Amino acid sequence: MKTLHEIRGFSPAIRLLLVNQLGVNTGFYLLIPYLATHLGEDLGMSAAVVGIVLGVRNLSQQGLFLIGGSAADRLGARGVIIAGCAVRTVGFALFALGDGLAVLLAASVLSGLAGALFNPAVRAYLAQEAGERKAEAFALFNVFATTGALIGPLLGSVLLLFDFRASALTAAGIFAVLTVAQALVLPARAVPKSTGGVLADWREVVGNRAFLAFSLAMVGMFTLENQLYLLLPDGARRATGWDGAAGLVFLVGTLANLALQMRLTRALKDRGHQAISFGLALMGLAFLPPMLVSGASPEVWHAVPVLVGVLFLYVGVMVAQPFVMELIPGFGRPELTGTYFGIFYMVSGIAAAVGNTVVGWAMDTGDQQGASWLPWACCLVFGLVSATGVTWLRRLSALPERPAPVEAAV
């Protein structure tokens, strides 16, 4: 009930963006997790070609975040959000309608470009609209995003009983509805006049050493979050000998998020900087319980330490992420909020890609050398190093001051 009260305390624009994020993640996760299987098994493509198609999508998104952020600042976040959803509608429809490599590559580029457009734009709009209640707004944003990430794969698995095209067209339909809804309902906001060129904006943000250091420190958060789709599902399957155990990872996390996110954010609202460090450390420590049963013979009860680790990881994200999002606009001018979010996601996304490569190498090496604990240890180190980095920046007074807490909607 408190969460519903919290939602009602925000403007209609923020409520629409929350529903938008639910739809974005539902549409994304009902398609993307099954894309590799479709390309390899249904279309008969080689593993190398599948890797190229998936890599192009990821590279398009990570590499163009900067463009999306600058566009939000220069053109207005509303128009960029709408454009991003419209572009993803086209991209996902192409996945359904095209079998040729050229069409699939175009679909990958468009779907990646779409994410690069609306991800920083949505966060910039949310940060500006929420005012001093950014942490609470981003906490709710996380609740809706996590719920969509659970609904999407479940809906996708049902649609795959028909065929992949049903999933792709449904995903495209969701983004088409979101495009129309935002065009009709999302209010336009005045865009401040720019005093310089786009390159000057980029130089200003890149020249902010404290911001770049903070973005790099977040490599732990992004790398460890991605293990919800790589290491933890694999660990759950290996620990129990049951393929269905991977689904429990998302179920436990979503239920925990719905129950705890707003409670944690409200409880920690006066300790945002410390909360980031604590959350990152907890995310790293989350990989200790699964490490205890790695390499052991499969047993049903081995699901317990893995799911304990999942719970700790989700709690760490819930503790840190709203305050991370709250902090980013404070590093620079309000007119560059979108650019800051764009560069933050570009830098941390590239760093996280390197981190994921390390985890993947550790998984392969662990299998070959009989060191099943290795990838879990790597994740532990990532979390603790990131927590130490943020703590160091806080002690140097390099982090922006947080806004005074607001009690109105609590």
pTM of the model: 0.88
Gap between the Cα atoms of 339 and 399, Å rounded:
18
Torsion of CA 254, 255, 257, 263, to 10 degrees: 170
Across 254-281, average pLDDT: 91
The 3-state DSSP composition of the chain as helix, strand, coil percent (nearest 5) reads 80, 0, 20
Give the per-residue pLDDT at 5: 66
Gap between the Cα atoms of 332 and 211, Å rounded:
9
Give the per-residue pLDDT at 190: 77
Give residue 231's pLDDT band: very low, low, confident or very high (50, 70, 90).
confident
Q: Which one is predicted more confidently, 320 or 3? A: 320
Amino acid code (one letter) for 48: A
Amino acid code (one letter) for 161: L
Gap between the Cα atoms of 386 and 40, Å rounded:
36
334 DSSP assignment: G
The b/e string for 292-302 (b: 16+ C-beta within 10 A; e otherwise) is: bbbeeeeeeeb
Gap between the Cα atoms of 23 and 175, Å rounded:
7
Contacts 24+ apart (CB under 8 A), 197-200: 198/70, 198/74
Across 392-405, average pLDDT: 81
Predicted confidence (pLDDT) at residue 201 exceeds the cutoff of 80: yes
Q: Are 11 and 125 in contact (CB under 8 A)?
A: no
Give the per-residue pLDDT at 245: 82
Token pair listed for 5:
């009260």
Q: Are 298 and 238 in contact (CB under 8 A)?
A: yes
Predicted confidence (pLDDT) at residue 319 exceeds the cutoff of 80: yes
Predicted confidence (pLDDT) at residue 400 exceeds the cutoff of 60: yes
Across 308-333, average pLDDT: 94
Gap between the Cα atoms of 336 and 324, Å rounded:
17
Predicted confidence (pLDDT) at residue 352 exceeds the cutoff of 80: no
